[in-house]
Every structure is written in structure tokens, then in C-alpha cells.
Amino acid sequence: MYKRYYDLIKKFFFSLKYTGIKATYKKVDIFIKNIIAGKQLSKYSFDCFYQAKYIPSNTTNTDIKPIAFYSVAQTDIALLAARKPLYLNHYSPRIPLVYSNNASERINYHIKLAKEYQIYAFCYEVNDTNKYKNFISALNLCDKTHPFCLSLDACLTADDINTVLNITDFSKMIKLDEKYIIILDIRRLKNYKDIDSFINSAFSIISHNIKDFQIWCRILHTADINHDKISRYIYSADTDKMPSISANSVSYINKKIQHYLYSYDFLAHFFCHHIIKSDKPFYKTIINGKDTLYKNELSVYKYSLEIFYNWIKTECSFLRDNFKENERFLFIDSFNNWDEYSHTAPEKKTGYAYLNTMYRAVFNKKIYGKKLSSYSQAMPEEMCSKAQICLQIHIFYLDLLENIVTEINKIPYAFDCYISTDSTDKAEYIRNYFKSHSNAVNVIVEIYDNKGRDVYPLIAQMSKYVTKYKFICHMHTKKSKIDIFGDNWREYLFGSLFGSKENIENILKNLEMNKGLGIVFPKPFQNLENAIHWGLNKELAENVLQKLDIDIKLPVNNIVFPVGNMFWARVDAVLPIFTNTLANNFPNEKGQADGTIAHAIERLWVYTAEYNGYTFSYCGEK
């Protein structure tokens, strides 16, 4: 931290020398405003969300057909790859493929993602014929194709629509009841006369170009229209009619912007439960979070993947209740309409978070951090005959030996124990006790310097052995000196991770049967909710990830980690952490309560697992 301040002061005087006092103070003013803006943004939960990019190879078909609106006008993005962050915690630059200035390369990559995440079709949003021509030219150079339908904006003239239809290849266009789906976007039209005129004109032109088609209409939920040429409606939330807060309440840099922020939580809840009276079948568009605070566009705050997930689940239930299986189209706004200000763009650094969440909701997969499943299948027989499980136990307090051995003896499978402690006398006592009282196949006790709490010996010891095993469990003789819940907290952790033979068997079955599950740990102890934050450790955590070549964007808020640093894990999921590169970087123990590499690593188990393609689940006390 002091080095950061030193660097800032050095930069200040360097700038003062070469650019003069006026220019230097202008830079300082911008820097301070950026920090203020970032803190204000954090207040409104403009955050980056990361989720594991795990897609099972045995994905089954679903009756729900996701259709993602796709902006064909996203072409002027050459500067994004080099753009610097605009405010504190803003993630920039973007990775090349998602925002590549090579349109064909970019579209190819988007199609690859769409197929991987089981998006049934794109809905190309057309509001400019020249940009659509450029898009089609790039699309024709792609080596991949994807089903689509067209959304024609009300700003298009009759000639524009004719041009669009003439250059469109209908061989990949989706149909319903053997008729092509054409969507007219009339959300910007305010009076019925304009709406009627546009629909009639578009219908006339389309009928001259396509033999079998049906017109759907994209409208706001407050609109009240009834048109005989429209087969179905696609409703979007009319945010002008919803509660909002002024963006002026947020201290941000660009004071020229005058717009409002909408609560994503309220938006989702309202639109899910709003009753729409319509004489024709209709769909409701699901809006993914947009944090374009710096632009005059729809902006939301309090966005979360869980709200997005639940919104999709609710809409899926609506589709199943009201439509036949071949009609269950789930409209998502949008796939690629992201700009340089957005945190939620679909890319590797954020785990393709919104795409991943959509996939999980549609295919009835758990969102991260939910309770374990129940499996009736038996575990492989070799789990009992050969130790595929290792326990690493850091023992500092000998009076807890009996408690620990009682818990680990409930494991119904073969396991080895690796134990770390800080003295020869303790090591000898522990070795004899475990050999006499534990069910471990092998017991290895080693001495390590008293530093890094339980994290340093865990990494230093298991870096030598962990690759021999499929699963690892870490526990330690926790006695917290900084809170009054130490004993209760430890008992809660032991009970959740062990507790009974049935509980342990259930945890291990989940790890064995669910190939996408990487780490399991107890929910945070109820008296320690205030400890679930970065504290002084975020910059340290980012440095650790850099050493491990793990390129992800850590969330600013809403972090998830095994508070207390005890867990079960799949070795492949957390393997990158077990390296001498980290083991050699622990400072000597001085009673630090926060801000050490040990505290940083404790907060990285989940994100390391997710980077490797695995998710996490909570286990409950039994």
C-alpha cells in the first residue's frame, strides 16, 4: 500500500516537471474523480461477476429455446482493445475475440459461444441497412453459421426493409409452423397511427419477398395494441413507468449525462409477476444487466446473477404453462450489445457469466453455491481399497487431537493423512496418536515453520503429494483469538465437513458424480457475515493470480470463499495453488489479523476452481 502512494507521489512530481502545474493538477483532479466515481459505483453494486465455464459433455436437449437479440450494428469497436479503465474497478481492455475489430473473426467467435451455451438462435436487430450490409458481408466470410430470425426496427423505411430481405439468406432462418418469423420492433413508436402505418407497410413489403411468414411484434409492456397482421407479441419492460433514482445521485466523471438508474431486482420481480392482458400469445423479454452508467441508456443497479437466474427460471415455467413444446422461445436481451463501459460482457475473464447462468437456468442446473444433490449410486469400489482421498491437517493445538481423529474416522473410504506441525515433540506425539487411533491408511507428519497460519504448511506439504489423489480435504486446529466464536465456529466447520458417515459420503458422492463440482465448504458461520469481504487482501489476491497465470476478473463485492479455510475439493480444481512459487512467499508469523498472502489465498480457492472449469457447493451441518 505504501509503495502505491510512493509511486503516485513520484508520478505527480514527474508530471509537474514535464507538463507544468496546470496540466498536472488537471490529471490529479481526474484521478481523484475516478476514485470517487469507483467508490460511488461500488455503493450501487456495479460489480463484475465470475462463474465457472463448465458445460457437461452429456448435455441433454431441453424444451426451452433461448433466442438472444444480437446487435448487427456493433462494428465501431477498434479502440476497445486498447482502452484504459475509466473508473475504479472498471475492467478494461477487453480480450480480442469478443471485441475483435475483424468482424468475421468476432462473429465466428460469437457463434461458437452460442452453440456451446445452447442458444437456439440469434435475433438480428436491424436498424441501419448499411451496417446490416457490412454484417452480412462479414457473416458470409465466416466458417460457422447459426439459426436466426430478424428484428426490423421502426426507423427503417420501406426501401430499407426491401434491401434487408433481398440480402438475407433464409436457409438458416427459423420457422414456426413452417412459417418464417419476422419481428417488428415498434417500442420507440408512441401513437397507434404510426404503429399501424409501419406494420402495414412492413407487411406489404415482406409479403412480396417471402411466401410463408408470420409477423411478431416487439413492444413495451404498457402498450395496448391489437393488430390483425400480428401473430404474437414480445413484451419488454417499459422502464419509464418504473421507480428509479437519478444518476445525479452518483458522483461520476461525465456531468453531461442525464438519465436514471433502475433496480434490477425490482425490474425482474415486477416483470415476472406483471399480468399482461393480450388477445394473442406473447413472450416476455429477459433483460440482462447493463451497467452503462456513463451513457444515456438503460442502466441498472443491484444486478446479480442469481436474480438473472431466477428470472429465467420463472419465464421457463411461464413458457411451459402457456405454450406447446415447439413454441417455447426464451428471449434474452441481449447477446452482444455491450460497450466499453459494461462489466457483464460475455468473455473468459468473467467466466462468460451471464451465458453460463442462462445455460444453468434453462437446463435445470444448479446455480453456484447451492446445497448438495442426493445420489443413490454407489461409489466406485476402489474408493474403499485404494486411498484416493488425502487429508491435510495442520495441528498447532494438541488438545484437539481426539476431536479431529473422531471426525476423520467417520470417513467411509480409504484415505491418507498428511499432518503439519511446528516442533519435533509435537510431531512425535501426533504420529503415535494417529497410528494408534485413526483409520488412515498412511500417516505422514512433517514439521514446518510457524508462518502463514494453516495455509503455508498446507501448500508447502501438499505440493509434494497432492497429484497422487483425486480428492483433498483440509482442516486445522482452529482457535480464533480475534472473536468470541472460535470454539463454536470450529465445531460448526467440523460438523459441516464431517459430522457423520452419511454426510461425508454425500459430499464425496457429489464430488465423484458431479464432474463439474470442484470444491465444497460450509456456508459462512452465522456470526461472521461481516468477515465476508476482501479486507486488505484484494491486491494481494490479484498478485497471487498473476503468479499462477490465472487470468480472471475478481469481483469487487459479493465474494465467495470458505471462511475459516476448511473444505473438501477435487484436486484438479485447485491444483494451481499447490506450487512452490507460493510456498516460498509467506512472511514470518507476527500475529497478523489480515492483509497477508495466507488471507489472500483463503479467498482464492473458489476462483481458482472456477477458472479450471469447476463450480462450488455449500455443505450443511449434520
Give 294-320 pLDDT, tens digit per residue: 454 556 777 778 888 999 999 999 999
Q: Tell me: the pLDDT tens digits for 283-296?
A: 999 988 655 444 54
Least confident of 193-202, 208-217, 271-280: 271-280
Q: Which domains does the chain have, with CATH numbers?
A: 65-362 (3.20.20), 382-619 (3.90.550)
- 8 A C-beta contact, residue 604 and residue 562: no
- Looking at per-residue pLDDT, the higher value among 301 and 162 belongs to 162
- 8 A C-beta contact, residue 197 and residue 211: no
Query: Would you list the DSSP string of 179-240?
Result: EEEEEEE-TT--SHHHHHHHHHHHHHHHHHH-SSEEEEEEEETT-----TTEEEEEEE--GG
The predicted pLDDT at position 434 comes to 96
- Looking at per-residue pLDDT, the higher value among 224 and 231 belongs to 231
The predicted pLDDT at position 311 comes to 94
pLDDT band for position 437 (50/70/90)? very high
The predicted pLDDT at position 486 comes to 58
d(CA 361, CA 435): 48
Q: What angle do CA 560, 561, 567 make, to 5 degrees?
A: 140
Share of the chain above pLDDT 70, in %: 75
Helix (H) or strand (E) holding 601: helix 597-602
Share of the chain above pLDDT 90, in %: 47
d(CA 607, CA 613): 10
Cβ-Cβ contacts under 8 Å for 198 (sequence gap 6 or more): 154, 184, 186, 189
Helix (H) or strand (E) holding 460: helix 455-462
The predicted pLDDT at position 37 comes to 43
Cβ-Cβ contacts under 8 Å for 61 (sequence gap 6 or more): none
d(CA 157, CA 160): 5
The predicted pLDDT at position 246 comes to 63
What is the pLDDT averaged over residues 428-457?
94
What is the pLDDT averaged over residues 203-218?
95
The predicted pLDDT at position 39 comes to 46
- 8 A C-beta contact, residue 578 and residue 459: yes
38 pLDDT higher than 50: no
Cβ-Cβ contacts under 8 Å for 116 (sequence gap 6 or more): 55
159 pLDDT higher than 90: yes
Mean pLDDT of the chain: 82
Least confident of 106-115, 140-149, 304-313, 525-534: 525-534
- 8 A C-beta contact, residue 273 and residue 236: no
What is the pLDDT averaged over residues 198-226?
93
pLDDT band for position 35 (50/70/90)? very low
Least confident of 54-58, 330-334, 551-555: 54-58
d(CA 313, CA 440): 45
The predicted pLDDT at position 279 comes to 87
Radius of gyration of the chain (CA): 28
- 8 A C-beta contact, residue 386 and residue 361: no
Least confident of 353-362, 504-513, 529-538: 529-538
The predicted pLDDT at position 594 comes to 73
What number of CA atoms fall less than 13 Å from residue 575's CA on the CB side?
A: 14
pLDDT band for position 322 (50/70/90)? very high
The predicted pLDDT at position 610 comes to 86
Q: Tell me: the pLDDT tens digits for 326-361?
A: 999 999 988 877 654 455 566 666 667 788 889 889
Q: Tell me: the pLDDT tens digits for 463-491?
A: 999 999 999 999 998 766 545 555 788 88
- 8 A C-beta contact, residue 500 and residue 612: no
d(CA 293, CA 295): 6
Cβ-Cβ contacts under 8 Å for 62 (sequence gap 6 or more): 118, 362, 363, 364
260 pLDDT higher than 90: no
Helix (H) or strand (E) holding 447: strand 443-447
pLDDT band for position 34 (50/70/90)? very low
The predicted pLDDT at position 44 comes to 44
142 pLDDT higher than 80: yes
What is the pLDDT averaged over residues 263-278?
87
228 pLDDT higher than 50: yes
The predicted pLDDT at position 82 comes to 53
pLDDT band for position 48 (50/70/90)? very low
Q: 3-state class of 290 per DSSP?
A: coil
Least confident of 53-67, 213-227, 498-512, 520-534: 53-67
The predicted pLDDT at position 95 comes to 55
The predicted pLDDT at position 163 comes to 97
Bridge partners, 175 (sequence order): 180
92 pLDDT higher than 70: no
152 pLDDT higher than 90: yes
What is the pLDDT averaged over residues 47-73?
71
pLDDT band for position 174 (50/70/90)? very high
Least confident of 267-281, 420-434, 478-492, 531-545: 478-492
pLDDT band for position 456 (50/70/90)? very high
